[in-house]
Amino acid sequence: MTYEIMKPETIGLSASKLVLGKHSGRHALRTHLKDMGYDLSDEEVQLVFTKFKELADKKKYIVDEDLEVIVTEGILRTPDIFRLEYLHVTSGTTVLPMASVKLSINERSVQGAGHGNGPIDAAFNSIAKLTGTQSELLRFSVSALTGGTDAQGEVTVRLSEEGLTALGRGADPDIITASAKAYINGLNRLEYLKANPVVATT
């Protein structure tokens, strides 16, 4: 079975999202991965291609974010420059949302606080201040991994900085903590991409 790259407009997505479907091969996948910022070895491309085929048999269409998850979770072992050590949030109908955060940055503990329009915004602002990131939040989404009021929530963020984009994911029963984990995960991946520039495609 082969796999092809399809025009995103065919299935109603914006032109900025390249969609992969059944019918084209490893070379097309490698070229697209390079365009996304991943310059992988032959062995790594083969691993991604194998996982891509497995996913393509389950999903009708594969988009950039699916590929990014395969690469970042299955291939890249992104070093944790930033780690969440502590998060405390105060929020309510009569108080300004505040977040106190303690991070480990290159094994050194730093802490600070910040406010925002809501508890997640406050947490993100505090983390941004501590890390010094200039990244822009392009996307934020929440999904429940399990059912019920005690559901494990998963947050996905997409960050952009210096022409690079990275996906961050975090899971926790507390959605604010899951959001902070996702944001930090995305920041770590941005740092990895900055430190490992891609060889320009010809």
pLDDT of residue 149: 60
Nearest to 178 by CA among 202, 143, 148: 143
pLDDT average per 10 residues of sequence, the chain (202 residues): 43 48 73 78 85 76 74 72 96 94 97 95 97 95 69 84 89 90 94 70 32
Distance of alpha carbon 130 from alpha carbon 69, whole angstroms: 26
CA distances from 46 to 1, 109, 159 (A): 15, 39, 27
In what order do the strands lie in the sheet containing 164-172?
A: 136-144, 153-161, 164-172
pLDDT of residue 6: 44
Angle at alpha carbon of residue 104, lines to 103 and 109, rounded to 5°? 85
Q: What element of type H or E holds 130?
A: helix 119-131
pLDDT of residue 2: 42
Q: Which CATH superfamily is domain 82-195 in?
A: Alpha-isopropylmalate synthase LeuA, regulatory domain (3.30.160.270)
Provide φ and ψ at 159, rounded to 5°.
-115, 150
pLDDT of residue 20: 64
| pTM more than 0.85 | no
pLDDT of residue 5: 43
Give the list of residues 6+ apart from residue 147 with CB closer than 8 angstroms, or none: none
| Contact between 101 and 121 (Cβ < 8 Å) | no
pLDDT of residue 148: 63
- The SS3 assignment for 1 reads coil
Distance of alpha carbon 25 from alpha carbon 133, whole angstroms: 37
Query: Alpha-carbon torsion 39, 44, 74, 16, what sign?
Result: positive
pLDDT of residue 109: 97
Q: Measure the CA dihedral 188/167/126/120, to 10°.
A: -150
User: Which residue has 């991946």 as its token pair?
Assistant: 189
